[in-house]
């Protein structure tokens, strides 16, 4: 750990020195600065068009995080950085604006893209435009606090009309501003219902049980699944009773599969956005400071000892055992993100593969997570931000980067880049939005389409389409069912990680180092041997606090006080 922290410190120092020195040496003279043009993009006079044709195109380098460079479709000669979608962008955006758009892969093998990007930043070789998901907000914050990101507001005001229309100016200012400057364009998350809990309805029916509506009912059902596994085997609903896993879960890298249980034990003030407690403890490495967290972990440890939780979850970082238990019929229930596994019209969804193995099997959604103190069901909501797109401070293509983003969020281009040609590769459905034609048609077409790595700021022009399509619904009936679930989760929802705390410098400094310690802490608590829980707790807390957990809380307390004063 010390070697990792030393490397990170040296890398940050290198980054600061390189960027500051470069900026000092390359500051343009006033006479060299381009005066703003009071014309719409693409509407130059004939004289200006002639001048542009004679001048060399401006280069815009767009970074794409990818673990390798796989050809797809096979034999097409197309790749994520060189395909039909990138050609579409170059032809419809690059040429009319005299911009040479160059897509470059940043290696993301073993989730290393951000580290590789930081190395490129230190060497002043990073692409002009890159994005990360909201889970990496501390990475953006760290770059911002070190002065490594360009101020995007002047370019946005000149060339970002479509961006403002798509996202909203208040949204951009609120979530793209770090330490006083607009250094990122935030993409919008239209699907706040972050995680979904599914339970085997056929198991409940076979055992004469009702779908649980309270936490105590749920726990009783979990114990019944384990104790009466022989009945499930005799009914043909599981292959082997000894393999039954009442609550399937995987690695503790994320909050998803433990938070529904643990938050049961939090007092209501931790869900009240008017209270300090709502803001200052939420997050990786600090959640343990919430009253009730320890009790919740003790309960999960009890469940683990009772055989109600996947025995090897701590080793299942790629979810292989987790998915296997679902599709083979061993899992009685599970919780995962954004409808993962559902999709009745998709033969490759987990639920469909389960039914191929056990035809009577059926998962049903429920949310029995009543709070210990007031019996209210509360569900975690995802951040309202989806992504952050940003530009290095030394880039000479800030205007071009904003023009690019303005182009890709235009509805017709957003659809074309991701879906291709209407009538040829997709059809427009009034409920579902653009829907791909069958696999054989796409295979015959033979080209590679784009995705978020090209769009960056969103999924689809209409948020209703995004919600339906991300759920896996493929008909009006299943779309209505999915929307019912969305609304059920959004009711009494709370922000898992309040974004108001995202940009504090302490989070940027310490959270990256805390995450692996935090993951180990959670797994160790859940799997602690009888009589060892307190020892594991004390050792884990000591390690977290030695690596900055309390520093982050202090920063959040300071930020909350500023919020409170500004509100008054």
Go through the chain and tell me how many residues it has. Answer: 568
Identical fold at 52-189+384-458 and 194-250+310-381+475-496?
Answer: yes
Q: Which two tokens stand for residue 417?
A: 């880049």
Confidence label for 566 from pLDDT (cuts 50, 70 and 90): low
Closest CA to 176 of 166, 167, 188, 185: 185
Domain extent listing, the chain? 52-189+384-458, 194-250+310-381+475-496, 284-307+501-568
Close Cβ partners of 112 (under 8 Å, ≥ 6 residues apart): none
Lowest mean pLDDT across 150-154, 316-320, 359-363, 395-399: 316-320
Q: State the pLDDT at residue 63.
A: 98
* Domain at 52-189+384-458: CATH architecture: 3-Layer(aba) Sandwich (3.40)
Name the token pair of 237: 């609903």
- How is domain 194-250+310-381+475-496 classified at the architecture level of CATH? 3-Layer(aba) Sandwich (3.40)
What does the pLDDT read at residue 1? 39
What would the pLDDT profile of 230-279 be if each residue is shown by its tens digit? 999 999 999 999 999 999 999 998 888 899 999 999 999 999 988 899 88
Interatomic CA distance for residues 180 and 188, integer angstroms? 21
The predicted model gives 336-361 an average pLDDT of 94
Q: Is 430 exposed, middle or buried (0-12, 13-18, 19+ CB in 10 A)?
A: exposed
pLDDT of the residue at 9: 42
The pLDDT assigned to 49 comes to 54
Question: In the 3-class helix/strand/coil scheme, how is 269-301 assigned residue by residue?
Answer: HHHCCCCCHHHHCCCCCCHHHCCCHHHHHHHHH
Cα 415 to Cα 60, 64, 409, 418, 456, distances in angstroms: 22, 19, 9, 5, 13
Alpha-carbon gap, residue 96 to 42, rounded angstroms? 7
- Whole-number Å distance between alpha carbons of 169 and 245: 48
Sheet hosting strand 195-200, strand order edge to edge: 333-337, 195-200, 363-365
Least confident piece of the model among 5-14, 154-163, 460-469: 5-14
Over residues 507-522, mean pLDDT: 92
Confidence tier at 441 by pLDDT (50, 70, 90): very high
Confidence of residue 23 (pLDDT cuts 50, 70, 90): very low
* Radius of gyration of the chain from its Cα atoms, rounded to whole angstroms: 25
Indicate the pTM of the whole model: 0.72
Region 483-505: what's the mean pLDDT? 82
pLDDT in tens, 36-57: 344 344 444 444 555 555 699 9
Q: Which residues of 327-356 are buried (b: 16+ CB within 10 A; e: fewer)?
A: bbbbbbbbbbbbbbbbbbeeeebbbbbbbe
Which whole number is the average pLDDT over 418-446? 95
pLDDT of residue 28: 39
- pLDDT value at position 208? 98
Strands (E), 304-432: 333-337, 363-365, 379-381, 385-390, 426-429
The 10s digit of each residue's pLDDT in 449-462 is: 999 999 999 999 99
Q: Does the structure show a pLDDT above 90 at 110?
A: no
SS3 132: strand
């Amino acid at each position: 750990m010390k070697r990792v922290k030393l490397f990170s410190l040296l890398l940050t120092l290198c980054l600061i020195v390189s960027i500051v020195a470069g900026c000092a040496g390359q500051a343009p003279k006033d006479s060299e600065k381009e005066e703003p043009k009071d014309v719409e993009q693409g509407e130059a006079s004939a004289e200006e068009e002639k001048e542009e044709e004679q001048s060399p195109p401006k280069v815009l380098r767009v970074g794409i995080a990818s673990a390798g460079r796989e050809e797809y479709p096979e034999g097409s000669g197309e790749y994520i950085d060189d395909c039909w979608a990138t050609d579409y962008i170059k032809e419809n955006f690059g040429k009319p604006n005299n911009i040479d758009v160059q897509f470059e892969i940043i290696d993301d093998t073993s989730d290393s893209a951000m580290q590789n990007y930081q190395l490129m930043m230190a060497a002043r070789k990073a692409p002009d435009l890159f994005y990360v998901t909201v889970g990496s907000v501390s990475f953006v914050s760290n770059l911002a606090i070190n002065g490594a990101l360009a101020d995007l507001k002047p370019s946005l005001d000149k060339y970002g009309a479509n961006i403002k229309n798509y996202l909203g100016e208040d949204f951009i200012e609120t979530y793209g501003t770090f330490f006083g400057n607009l250094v990122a364009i935030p993409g919008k998350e239209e699907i706040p219902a972050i995680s979904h809990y599914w339970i085997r309805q056929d198991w409940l029916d076979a055992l004469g049980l009702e779908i649980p509506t309270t936490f105590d009912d749920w726990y009783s059902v979990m114990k019944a699944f384990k104790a009466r596994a022989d009945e499930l085997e005799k009914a043909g609903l599981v292959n082997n009773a000894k393999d039954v896993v009442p609550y399937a879960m995987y690695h503790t890298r994320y909050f998803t599969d433990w938070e529904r249980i643990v938050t049961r034990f939090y007092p209501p003030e931790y869900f009240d956005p008017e209270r300090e407690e709502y803001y200052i403890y939420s997050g990786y490495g600090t959640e343990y400071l919430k009253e009730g967290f320890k009790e919740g972990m003790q309960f999960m440890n009890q469940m683990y000892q009772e055989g109600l939780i996947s025995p090897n979850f701590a080793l299942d970082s790629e979810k292989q055992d987790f998915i296997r238990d679902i599709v083979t019929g061993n899992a009685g229930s599970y919780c995962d993100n954004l409808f993962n596994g559902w999709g009745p019209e998709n033969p490759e969804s987990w639920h469909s593969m389960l039914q191929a193995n056990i035809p009577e099997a059926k998962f049903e959604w429920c949310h029995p997570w009543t709070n210990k103190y007031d019996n209210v069901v509360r569900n975690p909501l995802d951040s309202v931000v989806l992504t952050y797109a940003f530009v290095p401070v030394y880039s000479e293509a800030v205007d071009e980067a904003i023009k690019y983003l303005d182009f890709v969020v235009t509805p017709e281009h957003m659809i074309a880049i991701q879906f291709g040609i209407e009538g040829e590769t997709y059809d427009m459905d009034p409920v579902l939005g653009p829907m791909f034609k069958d696999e054989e048609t796409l295979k015959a077409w033979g080209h590679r389409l784009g995705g978020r790595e090209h769009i960056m700021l969103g999924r689809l022009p209409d948020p209703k389409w995004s919600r339906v399509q991300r759920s896996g619904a493929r008909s009006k009936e299943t779309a209505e069912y999915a929307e019912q679930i969305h609304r059920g989760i959004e009711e009494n929802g709370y922000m898992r990680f309040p974004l108001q705390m995202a940009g504090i410098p302490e989070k940027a400094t310490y959270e990256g180092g805390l995450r692996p310690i935090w993951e180990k802490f959670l797994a160790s608590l859940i799997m602690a041997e009888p009589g060892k829980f307190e020892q594991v707790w004390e050792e884990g807390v000591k390690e977290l606090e030695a690596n900055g957990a309390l520093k982050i809380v202090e920063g959040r307390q300071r930020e909350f006080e500023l919020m409170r004063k500004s509100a008054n």
